[in-house]
Structure 1
Amino acid sequence: MTSDTKTKVALVTGGNRGLGKDMALSLAARGMDVVLTYNSNADEAEAVAAEIRGMRRRAAALRFDLTDVAGIDGFVGQVGDVLRDDFGGAGRIDFLVNNAGVGRSIPIDQLTEADFDLFASVHFKGVLFLTQKALRMMNDGGGVVFVTAAADRYNVPGYGLYASCKGAIEVFSRYVAKEYGPRGIRSNTLAPGGVATDFAGGAIRSNPGLQAMVVAGTAMGRLAEPHDIGGLVALLCSDEARWLTGQRLEATGGYNL
């Protein structure tokens, strides 16, 4: 492991699989140490952490549930302890990547209050308060990346609730950029399009017809791969992106132009 105390640290939620896994690995490839979270699959998360350690970066996998807002203080304290005890640092982070989420197609007529509470907790309330706490332990010159969705620009049937929560986070991101800009902290949103992962029950991965529709409407002529998105997150957390803040970047390969 590196002994460089100046190494930057990224906290990636939902970093155990899919896009989050590639985000964590892409950040490590750029020389960062990574704390990644998971909700239910500890072995999967630890495998990602082990892969990062194989890249000679420090890594830790911690359980975190975005619906447990009351537990955020304890989680952030746990992150600080890991950074001090295992990473040899001062208990502070440089970047927060808000990636964890849930997805499901629900027509408006079938929405329930329980659906609203779950999606709002995971995609807005939990993200907002985790970001609030994380900013208190973030070094100046760091940044926040909010992973939203291209579906808040164009309509995807059944995703009205999901996209609305993501749209709320995009507004919040601009306020973070404004309030924390004096500290050199930037805040941006990255809105992916169709990627063949297990998100939303593998809706795209398991549906050849949907895949064909997305590809037909995409300028680049293919579905995204996880590294197309993970690499962009790593770029947003790099010095090359230090003058980019308060922006929404749509990563769809040119869908629905």
Structure 2
Amino acid sequence: MSANALQALHGKLALVTGGSRGIGKAISERLARDGATVAVAYGRDEAAAADTVERITKDGGQAFAVHAELGRHGDAVRLWEAFDEASRPYTDSGAVDIVVNNAGIGRSAPLAALTEEGFDEVFAVNVRAPFFIVQQALPRLRDGGRIVNVSSGAARLAMPEIIAYGATKGALDTFTLNLAQELGPRGITVNGVAPGIVDTDVNAAWLRGNPEAQAHAASMAALGRVGQPEDIADIVAFLASDDARWVTGRVIDATGGARL
């Protein structure tokens, strides 16, 4: 761990939802390498959260797990209650500097096949949860803090096969824009990152071990390859740092230039 990395977020406390796997895991590990103490929030996979915390601590960083299943009424309150309890060894104020809304679910169904229950579930996790997580964070979030919402390229690309998922990310982008305006007077920046196809467990079934799928996914990006979790984590780390102090209300395309 370099001295420069430690300086970037040294002394900061970050919460990363969905922080135990895939993009969230990469974000948790990168923020920790940059010096932040990271609350790794997870919904169901306790073992994955424990593994992420262990990897961070073995690398010389600080992290702890926070459990709260998203998608139900009251989930944001329960998340912050769990955070308050777990963060006591690291802060005596319950304050937080960085909130990364990364947790999300997808629904691979076109309009004709999507059920009302499926629609409600994807909006509950991808839109309602971040909205109220931020609402509950406001008294805890220090002035000059950072909020980063993980959106998706599906918010700008026509993908009818995942129409509800794309709609949630469009709503999240609008949330980002309005929140940036509201929190600007406190020096809090609010930005989004919109990944394209990323090699994570979510895409493993159709992507990994399938050269044709890999080639097709890579061909969609101007940069000619499939994204990696670290590609997204590095952008989040920039937005969380002081280097991004004059950037707010923006959604950064992180698709590698998909369908330009």
TM exceeding 0.5: yes
Tell me how far apart the structure 2 counterparts of residues 110 and 209 of structure 1 sit (CA, whole Å). Answer: 27
For residue 93 of structure 1, report the CA deviation from its aligned partner: 0.5
Give the aligned partner of residue 179 of structure 1. 182
**Secondary structure in structure 2 of the residue aligned to 1:69:** coil
Q: Deviations over 1:140-167 (max 9, x none)?
A: 1011111010011112241110000110
Query: In 2 relative to 1, CA 154–81 (structure 1 residues): closer, same or farther, beyond 3 Å?
Result: same
Structure 2 residue identity aligned to 1:63? H
Structure 1 residue identity aligned to 2:96? I
For residue 54 of structure 1, report the CA deviation from its aligned partner: 1.9
Residue 31 (str. 1) matches residue 35 (str. 2): yes
Residue 12 (str. 1) matches residue 51 (str. 2): no
Q: Deviations over 1:61-118 (max 9, x none)?
A: 11121112313223212212322x2214421110110001111310110011001110
Q: Deviations over 1:181-201 (max 9, x none)?
A: 110101011000011111266
Structure 1 residue identity aligned to 2:53? A
Give the aligned partner of residue 143 of structure 2. 140
Structure 2 residue identity aligned to 1:104? R
Asked if structure 1 preserves the Cα contact closer than 8 Å seen for 2:66 and 2:86, the reply is no
Residue 43 (str. 1) matches residue 47 (str. 2): yes
Q: After TM superposition, list the pairs within 5 Å mapping 1:15-164 onto structure 2.
A: 15-83=19-87, 85-164=88-167
Runs of 4+ in 1 over 3 A off after TM superposition: 200-210
- In structure 2, stretches of 5+ residues that fail to align are 1-5
For residue 28 of structure 1, report the CA deviation from its aligned partner: 0.6
Which range moves more in the overlay, 160-169 or 206-215? 206-215
Which among 214, 218, 238 is matched to residue 217 of structure 2?
Answer: 214
Which range moves more in the overlay, 23-32 or 89-98? 89-98
Asked if structure 2 preserves the Cα contact closer than 8 Å seen for 1:193 and 1:252, the reply is yes
Give the aligned partner of residue 238 of structure 2. 235
Asked if structure 1 preserves the Cα contact closer than 8 Å seen for 2:111 and 2:160, the reply is no
Tell me how far apart the structure 2 counterparts of residues 181 and 25 of structure 1 sit (CA, whole Å). Answer: 28
For residue 216 of structure 1, report the CA deviation from its aligned partner: 1.4
Aligned residues: 252
Structure 1 residue identity aligned to 2:76? I
User: How large is the Cα RMSD of the aligned pairs?
Assistant: 1.7
Structure 1 residue identity aligned to 2:81? G
Tell me how far apart the structure 2 counterparts of residues 213 and 157 of structure 1 sit (CA, whole Å). Answer: 18
For residue 131 of structure 1, report the CA deviation from its aligned partner: 1.3
Tell me how far apart the structure 1 counterparts of residues 207 and 135 of structure 2 sit (CA, whole Å). Answer: 33
Instruction: Compute the TM-score of the two structures, normalised by the length of structure 1.
Output: 0.93
Taking only the aligned residue pairs, the percentage that are identical comes to 38
